[in-house]
Amino acid sequence: MEQLKAVILAAGKGTRMKSDLPKVVHTIEGKCLVDYAIDAAIGAGADDICLVVGYKHEVVENSISHKNVKFALQEEQLGTGHAVKCARDFLGDEGQTLILFGDTPLITAETLNRLAEHHKKNGNTVTVLSAMIDNPTGYGRIIRDAEGRFVKSVEHKDASPEELESHEINSGMYIFDTKELKEALDKLTPNNAQGEYYLPDTLTIIKNKGLKVDAFALDDPEDITGVNDQEQLAAAAEIIRARTAK
């Protein structure tokens, strides 16, 4: 069995929550948002997990119920690519790495297993978890060619009018060949509208090496829904309660 690690991004403050607490420690049914992501990673076979923490990191470290996870500190938030770079020492050089978010409590081990299976079966170097949604405004888009092959992932702010026609969104969750992820992280540059290091840019770097990049599209975006405010927290709680009742 090939080694599988997981890096979970949990450094943000989450200003829209209107709370002093870091976003990822808000709870649903008594459990932190980030604990749900950790559970999914463990269920998918990740034997080593690192949380990238930042805002009030001591609070995050003390709030989670899993005690055997590692932490990497992201002092200033310079984008998703920068966040993963902060966990570079944790990555090692073997196997595969899952990249997840601490504010997506609806992600399931089953979905991550399907992602990993698709990744392996198709001999991909990186596979992004995507989903088709009716209103993709604000999300990064997956661009495919006429044959349906992955071309690139582009941030909403950097997309052309044609690219904005795509309804397939980048969830921000991935499975990478670890060695290639590390090499691509070293090549990231912040030349974009935000002046940040974007993790999706690693897809282009890897693809330009002639390696296989792909997106695995979910029919239902429920699993990748993030929590950004109290309303979304309440909606996610409803879904989790319904799932538990099943």
- Cβ neighbourhood burial of 93 (10 Å; 0-12, 13-18, 19+): exposed
Q: Is 56 exposed, middle or buried (0-12, 13-18, 19+ CB in 10 A)?
A: middle
The token pair that represents 48 in the structure block: 């080593």
DSSP string, 18-41: -SSS-GGG-EETTEEHHHHHHHHH
Nearest Cα to Cα of residue 20 among 67, 58, 71, 55: 55
- Whether 16 sits among the annotated catalytic residues: the reply is yes
Name the catalytic one among 16, 149, 241, 243. Answer: 16
- Among all residues, which ones are annotated catalytic? 16
